[in-house]
Structure formats: C-alpha cells, structure tokens
Chain A
Amino acid sequence: MTPPTEWPAALLIARFALRESLRRRVFLVIALLTLAFLVLYGLAAWQAFEATGEFGTATSTAGVDTRVVVGATLAGLAMFAILFLGTILAVFLTLGAVRGDADRGLLQPLLVRPLRRRTLLLGRWLGAVAVCVPYVIAIALATFLLTDALGGWWPDRVIAPLAALGLGVAILAAISLAGSVVLASTANGIGVFMLFGAGLTAGLLGQIAEAIGSDTLGDVATITTWALPFEALYQAGLAELTADTVGITKLALSLGPFGGAQDAGPGLWLFSLAYLGAVGALAVRAFNARDL
C-alpha cells in the first residue's frame, strides 16, 4: 500500500473540494448569477454606445475617440466587478477550510491519514483556484467580447488583464485560506473583505494624491497597494486595457471606480508570486503549530 505523494494527494483534496462545490450546487448558482451580470453588462454597454454614438463624431474631431473611452471605461468597471465577484468566490470557498472544518470535526479524519498538513492546504487552495481563476478569466473575456460586439471596442492587451485578475483572486484565496488557520470562519471572511476594501481605498488614495499633487499620499497609496498586490495587479490590468492608446483619448481615460490604472513592470508579477509563496509558507507554519 503506497499513499499518494505530495502533488497527487493535493490534487485529490482539490478534486474532493470541487466535488463538494458541484454537489452543493455552487456552480449552478454562479452560472445563473453570472448570466444575470452579463445581461446587465450587455444592456449597459449597448445603451452607453447608443447614447454616445450620436455625438461621437463631433467629439472625435476634438481628438477624443468616444468609442475607446466608452469601451475602455465599461471594461474597466467590469474588471472591478469581476474582481469583486472572484473575491467573494475565493473567500466563501476557503474561509472555513481549516479552523471551521476542524471545529466541525471534518478535518481530523483526513489528517489521520498519511496526508501532510501542507498538502491539505495546497489541495484546498488548488480547489479554490480551480474555480475562481477560470471564472474571472472567462467572465472578463465575455465582457470584452460583449463590448466588441456592441460597440466595436477591443482592449489593446487581453492576456495581461486576464492574468492580473486570475493572479489577484489566487492571492485572495491564499490570504483567506491562511486566515482560516487562525480565525473562525466569520472573522476570517470579514477580515479578508476588509483587506479587499483597504486595497480599494489605496487605489482611491492614489487618485486623490495625483489630483492634489501630494507625494506623501502617493507614497502611502503605493506602499499599501504593493502590500496588497491583488490591488496592484488590478490596477496594472486596467492599464493594460489601453496600453497602446495615445493622445487626448488616453488623457480622457480614467478607468475603474476606485483605483486608477497604474502601469507596472514585470517586477509586480514576480513580487506577487513571491507574496503568494510567503502567504502559503506562513499558513503552513501556523497550521503545523496548531493542535486539532
């Protein structure tokens, strides 16, 4: 009898978690609500392009391409909504993964098996990521396609915004999973959503700092954004939507409801991966020290 090694065991736990989501009709609820979201988005995009189409030619002559402004603004708002939906998914799939399941007595029978605690954490994270990441990528892609079909606008870059959203929710899932080691489910859920809110606030601070020319506020916003890299990734993803747009149209763009688009180099991606690893390492350390 040979128990599975690290990765096969983690995939086994992930498969078990996915089966639970399927059995609890999580996917059905997600599919229905996502459909409603896309219908609303499509309706908004159609109305926005219709309304601006009348004077679009006139403003275009002033140097601003309204089709780009409307399309990019809609896509930026959609990215915010999708990050939020992805966060909800990530949090609800992980908020009680350790302490919640341990308190209910569900964890102990699994950990009595030849299964390392770190493998269980990895499996639970993979299970959540396997739902959240494809979800945010698919729905973001769907909004881009709708924007193109209804208004003829397509993002300058597609892969980078999708990847930013995917990595952002993967980080949020890791934070929530790590929180589940030490916090009760409710406290963990509240904590992660407050962190998410702090990220949004950092983006807002950055915009205010830019508007009033405050370096101090700008530094606070930058540090906070990097401390919560899902926000920095979101801002970088926004920037990639109109990466090739130039001129007055570029100046007229202000994407996202709370955070402005901020271009970030490859350093952000490397930092985010390192951050993910650090969160995972802390979670494993805390879990290993915990009596069940």
Chain B
Amino acid sequence: MAPALSVTGLHKAYGPVQALRGVDLEVGPGELFGLLGPNGAGKSTLVKITCGLVRASAGDVRVCGAPAGSPAAHRSLGYLAELVRFPDWCTAAELLEIHQELVGSPGGVEERDELLALVELDHVPDRRVGAMSKGMQQRLGIAQALIGEPRLLLLDEPTSALDPAGRRTVRALLERLRERGVGVLLNSHLLSEVELVCDRVAIIDGGAVVAAGTPAELSHAGGVEVETGSGVKVFAEAVREDAPRIVRELVAAGEDVFAVRVRTSTLEDAYLAAVGRATEEVA
C-alpha cells in the first residue's frame, strides 16, 4: 500500500524567499505524524502544497500515490486549515452537505449526523456558523475534514481554539483514526499534545527538517543525578542503565547515597535544541 503522504526533495520559493529547502518525509497509513516548528518555518506551506493550494518549486509530493493537487489526491485527503473559516450564513449541516456533494459521498444525513456527534455538535446541526464559538467552528472544521473517509488527514493547529475537554475529544478521535488506518499529519505548536498522540515527529525550521524520529527518540535521556552526603553529583552522559553501576561505585568510594534520578529531556527540550541549533547554523 502506498504511503498516505510521501514528500521528496520539496522546495518552495516565494520570490527570493526560500520557504522550503528540500524537505523529505513520509506518513504511513494509520500513522500520526507531528510537524513542529516555529512560525514561518514552512509547515503551513508544506501542508498547502500537499493540498494542492500552493505549487511546489521543485520536488515531489504524493498523496496515497497520486501527485498532490491531482483529482485523485484530492479524493484521498481531508484538510483543516489553521484559521478555520466557513461561510457564516450556512448551518453546520449545510456546510457538511456541500462538502459531501463535492466529494461524492453517498453518506447522506447519516454521515452528517455521525460526524457532528463525533465532534459533539450533534445538538446544533441547524445553527449558523456565524453563531458558533471559535471552538465549535474548529470542531465543525474537523467534521468537515473527515467527510468522505479520507486516507490522509492534514490538521493545521486543530486544537488551538479548543478547551481542555475539546482537546481530549480530538486526541480520542485521532486514536480512532489511527485504528482505521488513516494517516494524519498534525501541525501543532502544542508540543505536549504532539508528544501524547504522535507516532513520529519532524521538527522543521528555516524550510528544512532539522530533527525527526519518534517522540521517545527525540526526548533522549539527559544524564543521571545522584544526591549524596557531599552534594548532588551529575553524570551528564549517563543513561538509565548506568544508574546501578554509578550507585555501586559511589558507595564503594564511601559516599552515602540518598536519591537517584534519571534526567530525561522532554520533546520541548528537543524542539528548542533543534530549533536553536538550526538557528545557529543559519546564522
């Protein structure tokens, strides 16, 4: 089966500004892939090229094997933009209906009801978009993106307007999509959220991928701290497996050991390190 998303050597220039400089990444079926990076890093450009909204300067982007922007690619993807905007005059049900018709979905009212229930808007199908809160509009956007059972879902900051309960709902939804084999590219600034749900993560900065891997790989161990009678000793290069040996050696050396702590960096630490390193490299 073709990857849900395959990006190879992607470049994009807006005049003299290089937005993307040779990005390579792949999202498999049923994989939740997090895309991290500071503002202006090129994340949204990457997502828009995948959607066919922006043309690539060079490189290849394929959605389920079809070139990005082609009708076949459009049939396979769902998209939630960062700044969700829908016509304020139409109702939730009407919005889903036109997207159903554009996709050719035979789901009808059952599909609409199911999707509205999925994002907890089933009690307001006839409410106008203009009368909805930002959070409700964002949830409606997620429902809209899921129309036609896409095989690749592109979510650009899907939880930015949601409260903690709404975020939990979206996380649960992402888990269900994973089980159904939907590949998800999640573009978010909420590192803790990405760390919680994503199988793999790429950190992009200055238009290039500066780090990639699983959250565990990126959040690598950061040393061992031992509280002894003579103070706290830090073994910066040590990992969890080194802790028993370090304790034995300290005790053998006559130290009293009161506590041992394995230091682990978070995804945020990894992110800041990657972005900081990239910034230095650019400078």
Residues of A at the B interface (CB closer than 8 Å) are: 1-4, 9, 12, 16, 19-20, 23-24, 104-106, 108-116, 291-292
Other A-B contacts than A109-B99, A109-B141, A114-B104, 16 sampled, CB-CB below 8 A, are: A1-B75, A1-B103, A1-B149, A3-B103, A4-B104, A20-B90, A23-B89, A23-B90, A105-B83, A108-B51, A109-B81, A109-B86, A112-B78, A113-B102, A115-B74, A291-B54
Q: A12-B98, A112-B74, A112-B79 are in contact. Are A105 and B85 (CB under 8 A)?
A: yes
Name the CB-closest residue of A to B95. A109
Interchain nearest-CB distance for A28 vs B (Å): 14
Contact for B51 among A104, A112, A116, CB less than 8 A? A112
Q: Could you say which residues of chain A place their CB within 8 Å of the CB of B98?
A: 12, 16
Interchain nearest-CB distance for A235 vs B (Å): 39
**Are B84 and A3 in touch, CB under 8 angstroms?**
no
Q: Could you say which residues of chain A place their CB within 8 Å of the CB of B83?
A: 105
Contact for B87 among A1, A20, A112, A115, CB less than 8 A? A20
A291, B60: Cα distance in complex, Å: 17
Interchain nearest-CB distance for B267 vs A (Å): 29
Q: Does B4 contact A (CB under 8 A)?
A: no
Interchain nearest-CB distance for A215 vs B (Å): 48
Interchain nearest-CB distance for A93 vs B (Å): 14
Central interface residue in B85, B99, B102, by most chain A CB within 10 Å? B102
Q: Does B106 contact A (CB under 8 A)?
A: yes
A114, B106: Cα distance in complex, Å: 15
Q: A20-B89, A24-B89, A114-B75 are in contact. Are A1 and B54 (CB under 8 A)?
A: no
28 contacts between A and B (CB under 8 A): A1-B75, A1-B148, A1-B149, A2-B104, A3-B75, A3-B102, A3-B104, A4-B101, A4-B102, A19-B90, A23-B89, A23-B90, A24-B89, A105-B83, A105-B85, A106-B85, A109-B141, A109-B144, A111-B52, A111-B53, A112-B51, A112-B52, A112-B53, A112-B77, A114-B103, A115-B74, A291-B14, A291-B53
Q: Does B8 contact A (CB under 8 A)?
A: no
Interchain nearest-CB distance for B105 vs A (Å): 6
A110, B145: Cα distance in complex, Å: 11
Q: Which residues in chain B, 142-193, are within 8 Å of chain A measured between CB atoms?
A: 144, 148-149
**Are B106 and A1 in touch, CB under 8 angstroms?**
yes
Name the CB-closest residue of A to B55. A291
A131, B246: Cα distance in complex, Å: 82
Q: A106-B86, A108-B53, A112-B51 are in contact. Are A9 and B81 (CB under 8 A)?
A: no
Q: Which residues in chain B, 28-84, are within 8 Å of chain A measured between CB atoms?
A: 48, 51-55, 71, 74-75, 77-79, 81, 83-84
**Are A115 and B90 in touch, CB under 8 angstroms?**
no
Contact for A114 among B54, B74, B84, CB less than 8 A? B74
**Are B102 and A12 in touch, CB under 8 angstroms?**
yes
**Are B81 and A105 in touch, CB under 8 angstroms?**
yes
Q: A2-B104, A4-B102, A16-B98 are in contact. Are A113 and B85 (CB under 8 A)?
A: no
**Are B48 and A292 in touch, CB under 8 angstroms?**
yes
Name the CB-closest residue of A to B12. A291
Q: Could you say which residues of chain A place their CB within 8 Å of the CB of B52?
A: 111-112
Name the CB-closest residue of B to A5. B104
Q: Which residues in chain B, 102-116, are within 8 Å of chain A measured between CB atoms?
A: 102-106
Q: Could you say which residues of chain B place their CB within 8 Å of the CB of A1?
A: 75, 103-106, 148-149
